[in-house]
Amino acid sequence: MEDMLFYDRMQFAFTITFHYLFPQLTMGLSLMIVYFKWKFLRCKIEKYNNAAKFWMKIFALNFAMGVVTGIPMEFQFGTNWAKFSELTGGIIGQTLAMEGMFSFFLESSFLGLFLFGEKLLGHKLHFVTGFLVFLGSWASGYLIIATHSWMQYPVGYEVLENGKFILNNFGALFSNPWLLPSYLHNQAASLVTSSFVVAAIGAFYLLNNKHHEFGKLFVKTGVIFGLISSLLVAFPTGDLAAKNVAEHQPVTFAAMEGIFETEEGGSEIVLIGQPNILEKKLDNKIAVPNILSFLTYQDWSAEVKGLNEFDQENYPTNIPGLYYSYHIMVGLGTIFIGLMLLAVVQLIRKKLYKTKWILWSLMFMLPFPYIANTTGWYTAELGRQPWLVYNLLRTTEGASPTVSSGNTLFTLLGFIGLYLLLGMLFLLLAGKIINKGPQLNQEH
């Protein structure tokens, strides 16, 4: 049973990690495309329109990859996690079905119109199609986060005698206190990724002396959006999300922060340290006294409960993984703010496009928002363990008893091979689009 559960979780973790490489760019990029098209309508400068169409090609490629890699996860609900689907389908089926509608119909339909309908529609309607693509992608994200939030903090449900969950308050799904902070934090993080991608491609153009005007436009837009979104990820969205964990999942909060023993007179915040599970302490830690108490409760001496306060069977099942995921996310977020702040200062001083070390930094930082987003999601998912539905349904109770570990491992290896090929194809196609660059002087 343990082997089966391990492979079930590994397969879902791999497929969803690979899948989310694509939506995290499309959600943020859709807003930036709308911005470029709006700037064109406002000032009639052609480069903004060309920029919008260029980035929509990148968006379309990411969207296609997101759809292809998202479908296998739906099947896993019916195979590896059949018991979970049977018990909770009456609730999560609502939001997942709506997400499919927004993603496959609204988003994809208007994506086609934006890509191919500019001459037919005219610029104003073309802008509307871009806005509806943005609306569809953000609505799709909202419904996924609504599903996730119910699993983290279940509301509006009733449990029948046969153990099935049914929804007795539809509105509660969307007024869940977990939902809005998580959604805003996720969308801001998505915008961080798209900002770094746009800035990195702009820096690549400037450093290679090609598409110079677009290089400057992309760097400028990327660093401005990047600074705003990096700050929003930290505060207020990240702050609110962390306070939700502290309030509703205190054992998770203790593990995230590496607090093994409750501290009197205020809790320190750990900057560096390695969890030692056997001795229940952090090795080689560097910490700042009382800061965690203040950030969490606005009280320098507030008590933050340690893991010693909780039943060990409810501990997160992978405390080191949770701790490191959280600290990697926070550490990278801090670096993002610092780099984007320096870039904006140089932009204001009109020296950014000549400051080569910042341009190189922007280019080489391109993978790190993906890492930060991934570790952020690992923090959320590892933090919820050992529960599928927090405090109601354990992970061991949701796996399908009829799918063997051998079958799951075999299909996992198949997914790894297939996704490797898809990833290489994606990089090849994206590289060709980027190398060709935005197209100038197109007819309207």
**186 has which bridge partners?**
none
Which structure tokens are listed for 325? Answer: 């995921």
Query: In the prediction, which pLDDT does 265 show?
Result: 81
In a domain, 282, yes or no: no
In a domain, 257, yes or no: no
C-beta contacts of 224-228 below 8 A and 24+ residues apart: 224/344, 224/347, 225/32, 225/35, 225/191, 225/194, 225/195, 225/198, 226/192, 226/195, 226/196, 226/199, 226/336, 226/340, 226/343, 227/337, 227/340, 227/341, 227/343, 227/344, 228/191
Query: In the prediction, which pLDDT does 444 show?
Result: 40
Which structure tokens are listed for 38? Answer: 């709006």
In a domain, 103, yes or no: yes
In a domain, 231, yes or no: yes
Contact (Cβ atoms closer than 8 angstroms) between residue 69 and residue 22: yes
Q: Rounded to an integer, what distance in angstroms lies between the CA atom of residue 48 and that of residue 54?
A: 10
Query: In the prediction, which pLDDT does 266 show?
Result: 85
| Non-local CB neighbours of 146 within 8 Å, separated by 6+ positions | 95, 173, 174, 176, 179, 183
Pairing of strands 165-167, 387-389: unpaired
Token match 């739906």: residue?
74
Query: In the prediction, which pLDDT does 143 show?
Result: 94
Query: In the prediction, which pLDDT does 439 show?
Result: 82
Print the domain residue range for 412: 2-244+322-436
> What is the distance of C-alpha 203 from the center of its chain?
24
Query: In the prediction, which pLDDT does 94 show?
Result: 86
174: left (phi over 0), alpha (psi -120 to 50) or beta: alpha
Query: In the prediction, which pLDDT does 74 show?
Result: 84
Q: Give the total number of structural domains in the chain.
A: 1
Of 393, 410, 383, 320, whose CA–CA distance to 4 is shortest?
A: 410
Q: Rounded to an integer, what distance in angstroms lies between the CA atom of residue 32 and that of residue 51?
A: 10
Amino acid at 199: A
In a domain, 278, yes or no: no
In a domain, 305, yes or no: no
Query: In the prediction, which pLDDT does 443 show?
Result: 43
In a domain, 306, yes or no: no
Whether the CA torsion 184, 188, 193, 194 is positive or negative: it is: positive
Task: Write out the chain's pLDDT in tens, 444 residues.
Answer: 568 899 999 999 999 999 999 999 999 999 999 999 999 999 999 999 999 999 999 999 999 999 999 888 888 988 999 999 999 999 998 888 888 877 777 888 899 999 998 889 999 999 999 999 999 999 999 999 999 999 999 999 999 999 999 999 989 999 999 999 999 999 999 999 999 999 999 999 999 999 999 999 999 999 999 999 999 999 999 999 999 999 999 999 999 999 999 887 889 999 999 999 999 999 999 999 989 999 998 989 888 999 999 999 999 999 999 999 999 999 999 999 999 999 999 999 999 999 999 999 999 999 999 999 999 999 999 999 999 999 999 999 999 988 888 999 999 999 999 999 999 999 999 999 999 999 875 444
In a domain, 269, yes or no: no
Query: In the prediction, which pLDDT does 98 show?
Result: 87
